[in-house]
């Protein structure tokens, strides 16, 4: 859990450090506001998706399940700036499926913390493998990193894409292409 007192002190120091006056009217509430905000945007820390994925349903058949365009917002751990975009998830069940909203919950658990996009993509895939024990999983994330678009190389709109395959998706390029075709539109 977020230590509000520490965050507030640190933000005050940060404001002073960049030459601001933390006591001017517009900034007075900023340290406490930021402490409350971190409670939410780091709300996935120390969690796994177990609580979302433990309730499963018997699969009628074992056809590929795809949930695409799951919006995510996360924070880059190198600059503590937001990165955000879409995650697409596919898995091939092996007798059990999760409710579709639970895939979005799984993404949320790993987005709400200081994160790296590639790592988030892998963590989502690994939790699905672990808790649903499917034949395979494929996860793709495409995100805009504000640490690249509002500063540094400044390429607005450029996206970082990360792809992770597990189980039968790892070897089967036909399945991978099916996934790419389906998430394309």
Q: Which two tokens stand for residue 24?
A: 């001017």
Q: Is 77 a catalytic residue?
A: yes
The catalytically annotated residue of 52, 115, 145, 176 is 145
Q: Is 42 a catalytic residue?
A: no
Please choose, from the candidates 38, 180, 52, the residue with its C-alpha nearest in 3D space to the C-alpha of residue 108: 52
Least distance between Zn ion and beta carbon 66 (Å): 29
Q: Is 78 a catalytic residue?
A: yes
Q: Is 174 a catalytic residue?
A: no
Q: Sheet of 160-167: strands edge to edge?
A: 114-115, 65-76, 82-92, 136-145, 160-167
Binding piece for Zn ion, criterion CB under 5 A, among 5-13, 21-29, 68-76, 168-176: 68-76
Complex with Zn ion: residue 116 or 163, whichever CB lies closer = 116
Among 12, 68, 79, 159, binds Zn ion (CB under 5 A): 79
Among 14, 27, 147, 163, binds Zn ion (CB under 5 A): 147
Please choose, from the candidates 129, 128, 138, 140, the residue with its C-alpha nearest in 3D space to the C-alpha of residue 170: 138
Determine, following the binding rule CB under 5 A, whether residue 78 of this chain makes contact with Zn ion.
yes
Tally: H helices and E strands in the chain: 7, 7
Q: Which two tokens stand for residue 55?
A: 């309730």
Complex with Zn ion: residue 59 or 81, whichever CB lies closer = 81
Q: Is 79 a catalytic residue?
A: yes
CB 80 within 8 A of CB 87: no
Determine, following the binding rule CB under 5 A, whether residue 76 of this chain makes contact with Zn ion.
yes
DSSP 8-class letter at 81: -
Binding site for Zn ion (CB under 5 A): 76, 78-79, 147
Q: Which residues are catalytic?
A: 76-79, 117, 145, 147
């Amino acid at each position: 859990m977020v230590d509000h007192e520490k965050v507030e002190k640190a933000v005050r120091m940060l404001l002073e450090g960049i030459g601001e006056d933390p006591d001017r009217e517009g900034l007075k509430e900023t340290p406490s506001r930021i402490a409350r905000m971190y409670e939410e945007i780091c709300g996935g820390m120390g969690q796994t998706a177990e609580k979302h994925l433990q309730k499963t349903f018997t699969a009628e058949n074992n056809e590929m399940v795809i949930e695409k365009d799951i919006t995510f917002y996360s924070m880059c751990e190198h600059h503590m700036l937001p990165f955000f975009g879409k995650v697409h998830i596919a898995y091939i069940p092996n007798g059990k499926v999760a409710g579709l909203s639970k895939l979005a919950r799984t993404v949320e658990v790993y987005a709400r913390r200081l994160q790296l996009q590639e790592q988030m993509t892998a963590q989502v895939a690994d939790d699905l493998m672990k808790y649903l024990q499917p034949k395979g999983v494929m996860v793709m994330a495409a995100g805009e990193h504000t640490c690249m678009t509002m500063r540094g190389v400044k390429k607005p709109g450029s996206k970082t894409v990360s792809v992770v395959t597990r189980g039968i998706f790892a070897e089967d390029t036909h399945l991978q292409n099916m996934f790419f075709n389906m998430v394309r539109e």
